[in-house]
């Protein structure tokens, strides 16, 4: 099962509302990030929020109590705007699980993306490293796809950015895949990125939800 | 089987043809007797939702905006997740809701709603877009549940024969309904509200079946049935 399941979860064509998300890129560009700095933005997410989310998904998949994982994740995601955006993204997974009759659909309505993803991974029989890789890849690829809408360029260029992150992604996957307890989730945050995202809820001109 | 879930009515059509105005009109005309909710799909801003909230025709909390990541067609057709969640939330926050109006952020003639998202859809054109738009056709023009030719009051100013546009619409639609509408024309407004009330009644009695106007032209299947998908 996990053979195609990991691919499904990483596929932008999965109908879970992924096209409404920019993984923080639109807020960053509105906040003053230069398009030439997007590769640095990707590395920053990989070192911070994407790592927290991947660890959260891994720990959820391992079967840690969801309320405890939620507390641990929320403590590492201080902006209520960022948390609310993650909950909206999570709802897409929950809705998918409901239609397909998977246990993940029983999670509370306010389950954020990384926990919904970890739970889906559990339903689908993914290995820890697979869910970690999907969580990180989806986050970075979401930003890359949004970049093409927000700051158009040769579409192969962001593919190169992502490939340049391949080794650090593997390292991050290895780091978080072995975690099983909520308190082991790394507490790496990027305050400026959070601040940009925090402002997005009141932005009057935006293409993406978050 | 009688339907208890709210009727979901999509409003599609090119930018500026009067979709938001039509929703405001329906809220004004029907809000007193029917419990309404609205979901907007702005391409770039929450302008439509704010305009409707500012119009004061409906409790602002019953007007929800969905961002589409610049994919307005996707959001109403292939990945309807964000819209479906917005509608489900409206219905769970206001369980008495009877009619949810969903405005598309579609920006051309080919965008139509999936029947998985809406039970019926209105396609809106206006006379200012030119008399030949109807003849150009498209899935929404040809096969939406209702075609509205809007702003007929402007027809003399833009050199368009509104009556002829309506007639050509009827021809292109093989008998499906067309309403020539103007916010200044009480009779046309009555025709619109009566169409909506009639649809709602059919929905409640389980007599209405959602059909897809399709992006595909109608075609034959091996078993002899005709589909517009
Ligand atoms: N003259 C006239 N203008 C109208 C009518 N309905 C809408 N409009 C105007 O058309 C413009 C675009 O309307 P709007 O509802 O925002 O269009 P949307 O982009 O399709 O939602 C606005 O300036 C409206 O005031 C009408 O019946 N007659
Ligand atoms: Mg509008």
Q: What is the pLDDT of residue B131?
A: 83
Q: Which stretch of A75-84, B36-45, B96-105, B147-156 has the lowest confidence by average pLDDT?
A: B36-45
Number of structural domains (chain B) is 1
- For residue range A81-104, list pLDDT tens digits in order: 999 999 999 999 999 999 999 999
For residue A207, give both structure tokens: 């293409």
Number of structural domains (chain A) is 1
Q: Which stretch of A187-191, A200-204, B19-23, B35-39 has the lowest confidence by average pLDDT?
A: A200-204
Classify residue A5: in a domain, yes or no: no
Classify residue B224: in a domain, yes or no: no
Classify residue A4: in a domain, yes or no: no
Classify residue B215: in a domain, yes or no: no
Classify residue B163: in a domain, yes or no: yes
Residues of A in contact with B43 (CB under 8 A): 207
Say whether pLDDT at A2 is over 80.
no
Classify residue B87: in a domain, yes or no: yes
Nearest Cα neighbor of A59 from A71, A48, A47 is A71
- Strand B226-227 relative to strand B219-220: parallel, antiparallel, unpaired? antiparallel
Which residue shows structure tokens 């989310």?
A: A53
Rounded to the nearest integer, the mean pLDDT of chain A is: 95
For residue B107, give both structure tokens: 């920006």
Classify residue A51: in a domain, yes or no: yes
Q: How far is the CA of A173 from the centre of ligand 1 (A)?
A: 53
Q: Which ligand is nearest to the CA of B162?
A: 1
CA atoms of B201 and B3, how far apart (whole Å): 10
Classify residue A48: in a domain, yes or no: yes
CATH number, domain with residue B112: 3.40.50.300
- For residue range A117-162, list pLDDT tens digits in order: 999 999 999 999 999 999 999 999 999 999 998 888 899 999 999 9
Contact A177, A128 (CB under 8 A): yes
Q: What is the pLDDT of residue A111?
A: 98
Classify residue B150: in a domain, yes or no: yes
CB contact under 8 A, B79 and A146: no
For the entire predicted model, the pTM comes to: 0.86
Residue nearest to atom 5 of ligand 1 (CA): B151
DSSP H/E element including B169: helix B162-172
CA atoms of B169 and B172, how far apart (whole Å): 5
Pocket of ligand 1, candidates B18, B22, B40, B185: which has the most ligand atoms within 8 Å of its Cβ, to mutate? B18
Classify residue A36: in a domain, yes or no: no
- What SS3 state is found at A19? helix
| Confidence band of B126 (pLDDT split at 50, 70, 90) | very high
Classify residue A162: in a domain, yes or no: yes
For residue B21, give both structure tokens: 């105005």
Classify residue A62: in a domain, yes or no: yes
- For residue range A18-60, list pLDDT tens digits in order: 888 999 999 999 999 999 999 999 999 999 999 999 999 999 9
Q: Which residues of B122-150 are buried (b: 16+ CB within 10 A; e: fewer)?
A: bbbbbbbbebebbeebbbbbbbbbbbbbb
Which residue in the set B44, B45, B82 is minimally distant from A17, CB to CB?
B82
Classify residue A158: in a domain, yes or no: yes
User: Which residues constitute the domain of residue A66?
Assistant: 41-181
Q: How far is CA B121 from the centre of its chain?
A: 4
User: Which residues constitute the domain of residue B192?
Assistant: 7-209
Q: What is the pLDDT of residue B73?
A: 86
């Amino acid at each position: 099962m996990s053979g195609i399941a990991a691919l499904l979860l990483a596929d932008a064509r999965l109908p879970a509302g992924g096209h409404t998300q920019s993984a923080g890129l639109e807020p960053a560009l509105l906040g003053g990030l230069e398009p030439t700095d997007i590769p640095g933005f990707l590395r920053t997410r990989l070192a911070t929020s994407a790592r927290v989310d991947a660890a959260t998904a891994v720990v959820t998949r391992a079967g840690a109590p969801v309320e405890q994982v939620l507390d641990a994740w929320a403590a590492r995601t201080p902006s209520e705007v960022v948390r609310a955006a993650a909950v909206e993204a999570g709802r897409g997974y929950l809705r998918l699980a409901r239609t397909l009759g998977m246990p993940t659909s029983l999670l509370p309505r306010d389950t954020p993306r990384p926990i919904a993803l970890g739970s889906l991974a559990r339903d689908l029989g993914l290995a820890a490293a697979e869910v970690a890789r999907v969580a990180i890849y989806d986050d970075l690829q979401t930003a890359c796809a949004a970049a093409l809408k927000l700051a158009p360029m040769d579409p192969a260029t962001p593919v190169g950015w992502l490939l340049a992150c391949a080794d650090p992604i593997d390292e991050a996957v290895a780091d978080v895949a072995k975690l099983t307890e909520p308190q082991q989730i790394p507490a790496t945050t990027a305050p400026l990125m959070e601040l940009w995202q925090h402002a997005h809820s009141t932005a009057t001109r935006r293409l993406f939800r978050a | 089987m009688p339907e208890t879930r709210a009727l979901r009515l999509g409003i599609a059509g090119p930018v500026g043809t009067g979709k938001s105005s039509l929703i405001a009109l329906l809220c004004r005309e029907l809000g007193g007797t029917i419990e309404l909710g609205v979901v907007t799909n702005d391409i770039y801003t929450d302008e439509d939702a704010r305009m409707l909230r500012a119009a004061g025709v409906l409790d602002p909390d019953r007007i929800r905006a969905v961002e589409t990541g610049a994919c307005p067609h996707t959001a109403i057709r292939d990945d309807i997740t964000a819209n479906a969640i917005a509608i489900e939330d409206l219905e769970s926050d206001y369980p008495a809701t009877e009619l949810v109006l969903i405005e598309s952020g579609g920006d051309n003639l080919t965008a139509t709603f999936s029947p998985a998202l809406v039970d019926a859809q209105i396609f809106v054109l206006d006379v200012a877009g030119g008399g030949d738009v109807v003849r150009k056709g498209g899935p929404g023009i040809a096969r939406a549940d209702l075609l509205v030719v809007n702003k007929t009051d402007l027809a003399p100013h833009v050199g368009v024969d509104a009556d002829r546009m309506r007639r050509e619409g009827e021809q292109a639609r093989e008998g499906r309904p067309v309403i020539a509408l103007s916010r200044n024309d009480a009779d046309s407004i009555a025709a619109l509200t009566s169409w909506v009330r009639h649809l709602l009644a059919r929905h409640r009695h389980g007599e209405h079946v959602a059909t897809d106007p399709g992006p595909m032209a109608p075609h034959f299947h091996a078993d002899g049935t005709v589909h517009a998908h």
